[in-house]
Amino acid sequence: MHKSGGLPSCVPVMGVLVGWMCAAIAVLFFGSNFTVVAKYDAGDGMFFQLVLCIGIWCTGLVVFLLRSTPVFYPMAMTGGVIWCTGNCCTVYVIKSIGLGPGLVTWGTASLLIGWLTGFFGLFGIPSERHCLAMPWLNVVGFCISVCALIDSTLIKKGAPLRQVKTDASPIDISLLPASQEPVEAGNTSLAPTALVADDSEVPPRQRYIAMLIATGMGCCYGANFLPSTWIQDNVAGASKDGLDYVFNQFCGILLASIIYFLMYCVYKGNKPVINPEIVVPGFLSGVMWAVAQTCWFVANTTIGYSAAFPIILIGPGFIGSMWSVFLFKDIYGARNYRILAGYFVLAVSACTCIVLSRKSDASCS
């Protein structure tokens, strides 16, 4: 039996289909989990990440119990520590350079780490190229994935589209100067207020630092599966099912989150920035993220790093953009719609190349 990044030599056809379905679910939930917290102020992000991680751990506990308490490998916790280390910087990066540039920076770095690991076999993880009928097509899919991430940075968000009813006809207030914007009673706009970057107020030095931090975050995100995958491939008797390592990683996430939050409290003189309104939304966001991450574990096991990473990293950006178009209404205009259409074409093209590049189940040996 040839091992490859946790991918057994002959994954049943149904298992492969489940892997693709899990990749789709991961894309949906990763692209949607921040919608439940968008209208709440996340402050500097440290309290939010703690609540988020509590939601993640609780979901992991459910998976652990449903899996009949599999063997716990403390080493797999390091994957959670690595991920949490990057996640603590999310709000700072978004407020410094914006969500789009931040996403493409850490997304590209994560994509590079994950895809290179699976394609070439790095960090003690065997190469998956034996499962590729056309390796060159997989490379093409990877390159198109990077182009899709870059394309996403061209999308510009504006003030949420709202309308004020008059006796004549509705007026699009987003087209009015700020000084003329009327006050709308009972406005319930869900525009993301916590994740806004005003370029005019961010010093260039802070932007450069944020870009470096975002790159480091991407490396953390791309490496967070390596400990559990290494265990699957190198520890005798270890389970090959990615679900058996979910709780291990999520314990590492919660432990690191608590430690970082305590360090933050000491730094702030025991006066942390806390918004109590974000507790329930943050917890729900953590549950949604955990569902997506759990599905990613399954996808890594069944379809491999070289397929799972590009698909799961490019898809959420499009889903998030759709929320902005139809729910938040802060993405609008012909230019943005053309860029989104291009993003969609690139994402579909990348996924098609990746799917077609892989061998059939029977020949993957």
Whether the Cβ atoms of residue 242 and residue 300 lie closer than 8 Å to each other: yes
Whether the Cβ atoms of residue 246 and residue 137 lie closer than 8 Å to each other: no
Cα–Cα distance for residue pair 136/156, rounded to 1 Å = 34
pLDDT value at position 205? 84
For 124, list phi and psi in degrees, rounded to 5: 80, 10
- Tens place of pLDDT per residue across the chain (365 aa): 344 444 444 456 677 889 899 999 999 999 888 888 878 888 888 999 999 999 999 999 999 999 999 999 999 999 999 999 998 888 788 778 776 677 777 878 888 898 999 899 988 888 888 888 899 999 999 999 889 888 877 777 666 665 444 444 444 444 444 433 333 333 323 333 344 444 456 788 888 888 899 889 989 999 999 999 999 989 999 999 999 999 999 999 999 999 999 999 999 999 999 999 999 999 999 999 999 999 999 999 888 888 899 999 888 878 887 887 888 777 788 888 898 888 889 988 998 898 889 876 544 54
Alpha helices by DSSP H, listed for the chain, are 13-30, 46-66, 77-87, 90-97, 99-116, 135-152, 204-223, 226-234, 246-267, 279-303, 305-323, 334-357
**C-alpha count within 13 angstroms, C-beta hemisphere, residue 357:** 25
Return the closest-CA partner of residue 299 out of 246, 345, 250. Answer: 246
Instruction: Give this prediction's pTM.
Output: 0.81
Q: Please report the DSSP string for 5-71 in residue order.
A: TTB-TT--HHHHHHHHHHHHHHHHHHTTGGGGTTTS--TTSHHHHHHHHHHHHHHHHHHHHHTT-PP
For 172, list phi and psi in degrees, rounded to 5: -80, 105
pLDDT value at position 31? 86
At residue 190, the 3 state secondary structure works out as coil
Cα–Cα distance for residue pair 153/254, rounded to 1 Å = 31
Rg (CA), the chain: 21
Would you kindly state where each structural domain of the chain is located, as residue ranges?
A: 13-363
pLDDT value at position 271? 95
